[in-house]
Structure 1
Amino acid sequence: MTMVAKVNLAEAFARIPEAWSPHVAGDINNFQVKLVKLDGKFDWHHHYSEDELFLVIAGRMKMGLRTGDVIVEPGEFIIVPCGVEHCPEALGGECHVVLLEPGSTLNTGNVETEKTRRTLERLD
């Protein structure tokens, strides 16, 4: 039997100990709902075959794009299509973001850095 459960985002984000370490909060078909805390600037990267949705829950995020930066406020989201180079950055302190992307998506895409997380912890 499939389990139905709700997620309290404030409680879930409180369980994430560090920035740039996505945690899986749920699964939708081949997609995952991931929660991540942003603090400072990430690495420029792109994904060969995965689109990503970034929904800002708390704080502010700048999505660096080669075509121009986009500021994303709480309650707003941005979709970065596959192949588009991007660089998320928290503005003015920590930022909490919900990601919706295929489960196979590597957080640093086409680059390998100290922020690369090949295995994600689950919050459920």
Structure 2
Amino acid sequence: MYARRPNPVFTDEYKIIRDALIAARRASGMSQAQVAARLGKAKSHVALIERGQRRVDSLELLHLLEIFYLDAGPFFSELAASLSKLNKNSDPAVRRSAASRAPPLSAVAGRQ
């Protein structure tokens, strides 16, 4: 019998993303119901995201940033800085291994 893998929604990295989204929603003065209506979803959709029971894909994240009137560039820069701080506490061998497998962004951006 295989051990069950942990759910990636509950990782420390994903908590940073959730916390950033919650802060952005609150700063915008919008309720979960208002955000959900703008997304065309039920209020429970946003509540599940904020509770960490539902993941947000990249396109939905961009829609949320638009709803909150946030520029994606600065948001992702701050997010990357927070994740970098968190990852500095992780095993360096794991970080090097993951970095060596990732293609450079310029190689990915040129693909069609």
Structure number with higher relative contact order (C-alpha < 8 Å, ≥ 6 residues apart): 1
Determine which structure has the larger helix proportion and give its number: 2
Same fold (TM over 0.5): no
Q: What TM-score does the superposition give when structure 2 sets the normalisation length?
A: 0.29
* TM-score, scaled relative to structure 1: 0.28
Q: Greater strand share, 1 or 2?
A: 1
